[in-house]
C-alpha cells in the first residue's frame, strides 16, 4: 500500500526508509514533528527487531529457540516486548482457529526462508522437503502447545518448534508507534510498515488516502506500482496480505511465506491479495492473513465479522465486502469502513 493525505495541501510531511526487511513510512500532519516522529518509530522498530527477528543471531527469539532446544528445557523468562508479541500471536491463532499460527517458523526454515528475505537466493538445485515438512504434525496444533504465562512473562516451547512472529509483531508495532507518536506530537500520524497501516490522532482534511496494490514482485516497492484502488481512512488500521511480495522458487517449486499450518506448506489460495480495514492494524493483519489461508472460505468468514474487505482473485477479479467501496472509473473509493462502521476485530 502507498499512503498520503487526501485533502488540500497542508503542513503534512513524510519520511521513508527500510526496517524489519520492508519499506517504512511515517507521515504527520505537522511538518515540525516529523523528525521526532521518525526518531520514535526508528526506536520502536529497532526494539521489535532485536526482540522478534528470526534472522539475527543476537535476537531474543533466536536465543529463546536455543534455550528451548535443550533437553527438558523449562519455561524461560522473556522481555515485556517479546511477551507482548507472543501474546498477540497466540491471540491471532485463537481468533482464527489456528489458521494464523506462530509456530510455523520451522516450516518456513525448511522451505528456505531462513534469512532476511532480501538475502534469499534462488536455488533450483535444492528442492523443498518432499511431502510434509517435519513440523507438519506439531504445526497443526503447535500454538496450543506453547506454554505462555503472561503474568510471569515466561514461555516454553515444545522441542522442534520455532516461533515466527513477523506478521503480528509488525502490525502491533504499527499500532503502538502510531498511538505513541500521535500522543507525543499532538498531531495526526500515519504509520505504514510494508502495507500494515495505522492512523492515529486527528487526520488531515479529507483523511488519509491509501493506495491499494494487489500484486508486487519480490523486492518491488509499492511506490513504483500504480494502485489498483485508492481509499480514504480517518483512523484505525488497514492491512493487505498476499503471496506475491515474499515469493521464491526452490527446487522447481514456487513458494511463498503464508503457511497453511495443517500442511506446513505455502497456502494454496484463490486470492492474489486481501485488504481488510479494522479498528487496529493488528486486527486487520490477522484477518487479511487468515483470509488468504482460508481461500474461498474467507468470504463467509469476513462477511460474518462485518469487516470491510477487498479480495482480489488470481484472475484479477475483485470482490468487496461489508462496505468497502467499489472502485470508481478513476480507481478511487472513499471510506472503507464508513458505510456500516464495522471496524471491529475478528472474534
pTM: 0.84
Mean pLDDT of the chain: 83
**Cβ(266)–Cβ(256) below 8 Å:** yes
Strand partners, 70: none
pLDDT score of 344: 38
Q: Which of 53, 24, 52 is nearest to 38 (CA)?
A: 24
d(CA 284, CA 275): 8
* Digit-coded pLDDT (tens) for 226-242: 788 999 999 999 999 98
Dihedral angle sign, alpha carbons of residues 225, 230, 235, 236? negative
Average pLDDT over residues 72-76: 81
Chain position carrying cell 516450516: 107
Beta strands in 109-235, from DSSP E residues, in sequence order: 147-149, 154-156, 189-193, 196-200, 208-212, 229-233
> Does residue 109 have a pLDDT over 70?
yes
Same CATH fold, 50-166 and 2-31+186-321? no
Q: Which of 73, 54, 269, 285 is nearest to 192 (CA)?
A: 285
Strand order across the beta sheet in which 208-212 lies: 2-5, 208-212, 229-233
CA atoms within 13 A on the CB side of 1: 35
218 DSSP assignment: T
> Does residue 124 have a pLDDT over 60?
no
Domain 50-166 listed as CATH 1.10.3980.10: yes
Q: Which of 169, 173, 198, 182 is nearest to 37 (CA)?
A: 182
d(CA 83, CA 86): 5
Q: Is residue 141 very low, low, confident or very high in pLDDT (cuts 50, 70, 90)?
A: very low
The number of beta carbons lying within 10 Å of the beta carbon of residue 127 is 11
d(CA 260, CA 266): 6
> Does residue 276 have a pLDDT over 80?
yes
d(CA 29, CA 56): 35
**Cβ(314)–Cβ(270) below 8 Å:** yes
**Cβ(11)–Cβ(202) below 8 Å:** no
d(CA 297, CA 295): 5
Chain position carrying cell 496444533: 141
Please report, rounded to a whole number, the percentage of residues in the chain having pLDDT higher than 70: 77
119-123, 183-187, 266-270, 274-278: least confident range: 119-123
d(CA 187, CA 179): 10
**Range 54-69 burial, b when 16+ CB lie within 10 A, else e:** bbeeebbbbebbebbe
Beta strands in the chain, from DSSP E residues, in sequence order: 2-5, 13-19, 22-28, 76-77, 147-149, 154-156, 189-193, 196-200, 208-212, 229-233, 236-241, 247-250, 253-256, 259-260, 265-266, 271-278, 309-313, 318-321
**Cβ(327)–Cβ(228) below 8 Å:** yes
Residue ranges covered by each domain of the chain: 2-31+186-321, 50-166
Q: Is residue 111 very low, low, confident or very high in pLDDT (cuts 50, 70, 90)?
A: confident
Domain 2-31+186-321 listed as CATH 3.90.105.10: no
Amino acid at each position: 500500500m502507498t499512503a498520503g493525505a487526501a485533502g488540500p495541501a497542508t503542513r503534512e510531511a513524510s519520511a521513508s526508509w527500510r526496517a524489519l526487511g520492508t519499506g517504512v513510512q511515517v507521515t504527520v500532519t505537522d511538518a515540525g514533528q516529523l523528525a521526532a516522529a521518525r526518531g520514535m518509530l526508528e526506536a520502536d522498530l529497532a526494539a521489535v527487531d532485536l526482540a522478534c527477528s528470526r534472522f539475527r543471531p543476537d535476537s531474543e527469539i533466536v536465543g529463546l529457540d536455543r534455550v528451548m532446544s535443550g533437553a527438558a528445557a523449562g519455561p524461560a523468562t522473556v522481555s515485556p516486548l517479546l511477551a507482548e508479541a507472543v501474546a498477540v500471536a497466540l491471540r491471532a491463532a485463537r481468533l482464527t482457529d489456528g489458521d494464523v499460527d506462530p509456530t510455523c517458523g520451522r516450516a518456513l526454515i525448511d522451505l528456505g526462508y531462513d534469512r532476511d528475505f532480501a538475502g534469499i537466493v534462488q536455488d533450483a538445485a535444492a528442492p523443498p522437503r518432499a511431502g510434509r515438512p517435519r513440523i507438519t504434525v506439531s504445526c497443526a496444533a503447535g500454538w496450543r502447545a506453547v506454554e505462555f504465562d503472561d503474568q510471569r512473562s515466561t514461555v516454553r516451547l515444545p522441542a522442534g518448534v520455532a516461533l515466527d512472529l513477523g506478521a503480528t509483531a509488525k502490525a502491533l508495532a504499527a499500532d503502538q508507534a502510531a498511538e505513541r507518536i500521535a500522543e507525543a506530537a499532538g498531531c495526526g500520524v500515519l504509520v505504514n510498515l510494508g502495507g500494515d497501516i495505522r492512523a492515529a490522532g486527528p487526520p488531515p482534511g479529507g483523511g488519509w488516502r491509501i493506495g491499494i496494490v494487489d500484486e508486487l514482485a519480490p523486492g518491488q516497492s509499492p511506490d513504483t506500482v500504480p494502485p489498483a484502488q485508492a481509499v480514504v481512512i480517518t483512523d484505525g488500521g488497514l492491512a493487505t496480505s498476499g503471496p506475491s511480495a515474499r515469493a521464491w522458487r526452490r527446487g522447481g517449486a514456487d513458494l511463498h511465506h503464508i503457511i497453511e499450518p495443517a500442511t506446513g506448506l505455502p497456502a494454496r489460495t484463490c486470492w492474489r491479495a486481501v485488504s481488510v480495514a479494522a479498528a487496529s492494524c493488528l486486527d486487520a493483519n490477522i484477518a487479511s492473513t487468515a483470509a488468504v489461508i482460508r481461500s474461498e472460505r474467507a468470504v463467509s468468514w469476513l462477511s460474518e465479522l462485518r469487516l470491510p474487505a477487498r479480495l482480489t482473485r488470481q484472475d484479477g477479479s475483485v470482490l468487496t465486502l461489508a462496505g468497502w467501496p467499489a472502485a470508481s472509473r478513476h480507481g478511487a473509493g472513499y471510506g472503507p469502513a464508513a458505510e456500516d462502521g464495522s471496524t471491529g476485530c475478528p472474534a
